């Protein structure tokens, strides 16, 4: 019921709304992705790299102090322990194996905060493949550490000066490149966004998260199904991976944390389900923040990974039919939660992940409830932001 249909739709959301020039590229991918993902040799290679390179399975950790505090059983799925510090590498590994099987030698990607760029540059180095990353000139300035990593890994980082010199402009440039190099190039999209088949492809590659949760939870507490799975949603790939194998289990409640920025009633927000409406962004029909003329409204979030004006079509669907419950988490809520979890569990979460933790403050549980929080990434990259906030706390 939550699987994508033949045309790439989840209910009314999804599809492939792309310029004619891009049709061939997307069609080639659509025609082969399921066959390749189902090949034994692909599954083997993917599993081996997830195990020995990424470090999977990531632990499912019983958070004793958080559990005592909230009076429930809280487990943490430790995607922050993946190589490179977040879940994004799962998708990057899967797509580069796919690209090789499609005979592509060159990889392109766009990146905003640089996290997806680093994951892509990492797997290209691993496979010895050419890697070109498009990044807005302003983002390059803001994210110098990630730019340095990509360069160290051997990627070419192309600054994009058009438009607002940020993510959407980098995306346009990447698409232009792909059209001009359709023979030898694969475009790695980093979340469950973009034209069909990308949302389904990325969700399948990230679904290893919920596959592991099921096995690990059964071992930890004698039941494979939690009462709640909580994850943050930027484009929605870590959430899609954490929800995937529970989508058809209605007793498992799915909780999605969106970035409310300064608040959903302000113009500095990225809470798409609260402030958005249906429209087309990056090739799919989904929820996005737009003005009355259909122009994209600049989002705001303290966390770079959630600072996106749309959400993936699967999540738009889960929101519209209430299969998932969406919470709007402000910058302040997230900072407080990040600080609290660090002190309670000795785990400094990414600011994105801190949005998921902040949901725990707003939810009501029974003491027997089992909750899994997907810890999408580690907070090292966010230390400057956290530190700025601590100055205000004045302990």
Ligand X SMILES: *Cc1c(COP(=O)(O)O)cnc(C)c1O
If binding is defined by CB under 6 A, does position 341 make contact with ligand X? no
130 catalytic? Reply is no
> Does the N-terminal peptide bond of residue 246 adopt cis geometry, omega within 30 degrees of 0?
no
- Pure H helices in the chain: 23-38, 40-49, 64-70, 88-101, 115-127, 137-142, 144-152, 167-180, 198-206, 208-221, 237-243, 272-275, 313-320, 331-345, 351-362, 383-393
Identify the bridge partners of residue 348 per DSSP, sorted by sequence position. none
Q: Are 225 and 234 in contact (CB under 8 A)?
A: no
The contact mask relative to ligand X for 271-310 (x = CB under 6 A, - = no) is ----------------------------------xx----
Determine which one of 73, 77, 110, 345 is catalytic.
110
Sheet holding 228-232, edge to edge: 60-62, 73-77, 370-374, 228-232, 253-261, 324-330
251 catalytic? Reply is no
210 catalytic? Reply is no
Question: In this complex, which beta carbon is closest to ligand X, that of residue 15 or of residue 377?
Answer: 377
Task: Please tell me the distance from the alpha carbon of residue 61 to that of residue 156, in angstroms, as a whole number.
Answer: 38
Task: Please tell me the distance from the alpha carbon of residue 7 to that of residue 129, in angstroms, as a whole number.
Answer: 31
If binding is defined by CB under 6 A, does position 191 make contact with ligand X? yes
User: Other C-beta atoms within 10 Å of 34: how many?
Assistant: 12
Distances (CA, A) of 144 to 118, 139, 154: 12, 8, 15
If binding is defined by CB under 6 A, does position 114 make contact with ligand X? no
If binding is defined by CB under 6 A, does position 352 make contact with ligand X? yes
Subset of 64-93 contacting ligand X (CB under 6 A): 86, 88
Contacting ligand X (CB under 6 A), which of 235, 261, 310, 313? 235
Distances (CA, A) of 294 to 12, 280, 287, 290: 18, 9, 12, 5
If binding is defined by CB under 6 A, does position 15 make contact with ligand X? no
Distances (CA, A) of 388 to 142, 301, 306, 383: 16, 15, 19, 8
Question: In this complex, which beta carbon is closest to ligand X, that of residue 177 or of residue 352?
Answer: 352
If binding is defined by CB under 6 A, does position 319 make contact with ligand X? no
Query: Per the structure block, which two tokens stand in for 82?
Result: 């993946």
User: Which range in 18-26, 59-67, 97-105, 233-241 contacts ligand X by CB under 6 A?
Assistant: 233-241
If binding is defined by CB under 6 A, does position 350 make contact with ligand X? yes
Site of tokens 């991918």: 29
Size of the site for ligand X (CB under 6 A): 19
**DSSP 3-state of 291:** coil
If binding is defined by CB under 6 A, does position 94 make contact with ligand X? no
Q: What is the DSSP letter of 86?
A: B
Q: What is the DSSP letter of 301?
A: -
Nearest-CB residue to ligand X?
A: 377
Question: In this complex, which beta carbon is closest to ligand X, that of residue 165 or of residue 376?
Answer: 376
Determine which one of 73, 77, 79, 88 is catalytic.
88
Q: How far is the CB of 143 from ligand X (least distance, A)?
A: 12
If binding is defined by CB under 6 A, does position 194 make contact with ligand X? no
Nearest CA among 207, 206, 215, 202 for reference residue 75:
215
Question: In this complex, which beta carbon is closest to ligand X, that of residue 66 or of residue 119?
Answer: 119
Contacting ligand X (CB under 6 A), which of 36, 377, 382, 389? 377
Question: In this complex, which beta carbon is closest to ligand X, that of residue 55 or of residue 369?
Answer: 55
Q: How far is the CB of 356 from ligand X (least distance, A)?
A: 9
Question: In this complex, which beta carbon is closest to ligand X, that of residue 202 or of residue 370?
Answer: 202
User: Which range in 33-41, 62-70, 172-180, 229-237 contacts ligand X by CB under 6 A?
Assistant: 229-237
Q: How far is the CB of 199 from ligand X (least distance, A)?
A: 10
Question: In this complex, which beta carbon is closest to ligand X, that of residue 73 or of residue 236?
Answer: 236
Q: Are 242 and 214 in contact (CB under 8 A)?
A: no
Contacting ligand X (CB under 6 A), which of 111, 115, 216, 301? 115
Question: In this complex, which beta carbon is closest to ligand X, that of residue 73 or of residue 88?
Answer: 88
Q: How far is the CB of 258 from ligand X (least distance, A)?
A: 10
Number of residues that this document lists for the chain = 395
Largest CA distance in the chain: 59
| Interacting residue ranges for ligand X, rule: CB under 6 A | 86, 88, 115, 191, 232-239, 305-306, 350, 352-353, 376-377
Catalytic sites, residue numbers? 88, 110, 376
């Amino acid at each position: 019921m939550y699987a994508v249909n033949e045309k790439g739709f989840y209910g009314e959301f999804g599809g492939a709304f792309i310029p004619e020039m891009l049709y061939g590229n997307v069609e080639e991918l659509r025609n082969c992705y399921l066959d390749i993902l189902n090949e034994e040799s692909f599954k083997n290679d993917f599993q081996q790299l997830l195990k020995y390179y990424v470090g999977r399975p990531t632990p499912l950790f019983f958070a004793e102090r958080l559990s005592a505090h909230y009076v429930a059983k809280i487990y943490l799925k430790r995607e922050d322990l993946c190589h490179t510090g977040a879940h994004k590498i799962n998708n990057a590994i899967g797509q580069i194996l796919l690209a090789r099987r499609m005979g592509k030698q060159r990889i392109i990607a766009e990146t905003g905060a640089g996290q997806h760029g680093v994951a892509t540059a990492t797997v290209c180095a691993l496979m010895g493949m050419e890697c070109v990353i498009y990044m807005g000139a302003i983002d390059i300035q803001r994210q110098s550490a990630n730019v340095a990593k990509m360069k160290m890994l051997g990627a070419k980082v192309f600054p994009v000066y058009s438009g607002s010199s940020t993510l959407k402009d980098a995306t346009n440039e990447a698409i232009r490149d792909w059209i001009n190099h359709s023979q030898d190039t694969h475009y790695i999209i980093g979340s469950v966004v973009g034209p069909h088949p990308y949302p389904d492809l990325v969700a399948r590659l990230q679904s290893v998260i919920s596959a592991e949760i099921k096995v690990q939870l059964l071992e930890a507490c004698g039941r494979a199904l939690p009462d709640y799975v909580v994850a943050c949603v930027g484009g929605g790939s870590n959430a899609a991976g954490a929800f995937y194998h529970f989508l058809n289990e209605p007793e498992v409640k799915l909780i999605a944390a969106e970035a409310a920025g300064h608040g959903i009633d302000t113009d500095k927000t990225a809470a798409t389900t609260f402030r958005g409406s249906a429209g087309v962004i990056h090739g799919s029909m989904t929820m996005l923040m737009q003005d009355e003329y259909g122009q994209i409204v600049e989002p705001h979030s303290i966390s770079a990974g959630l600072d996106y004006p749309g959400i993936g079509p699967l999540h738009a669907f889960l929101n519209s039919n209430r299969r998932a419950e969406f919470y709007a988490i402000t910058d302040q809520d997230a900072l407080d939660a990040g600080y609290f979890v660090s002190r309670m569990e000795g785990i400094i979460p990414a600011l994105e992940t801190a949005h998921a933790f902040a949901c725990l403050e707003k939810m009501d549980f029974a003491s027997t409830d089992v909750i899994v929080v997907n810890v999408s990434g580690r907070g090292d990259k966010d230390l400057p932001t956290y530190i700025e906030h601590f100055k205000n706390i004045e302990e």
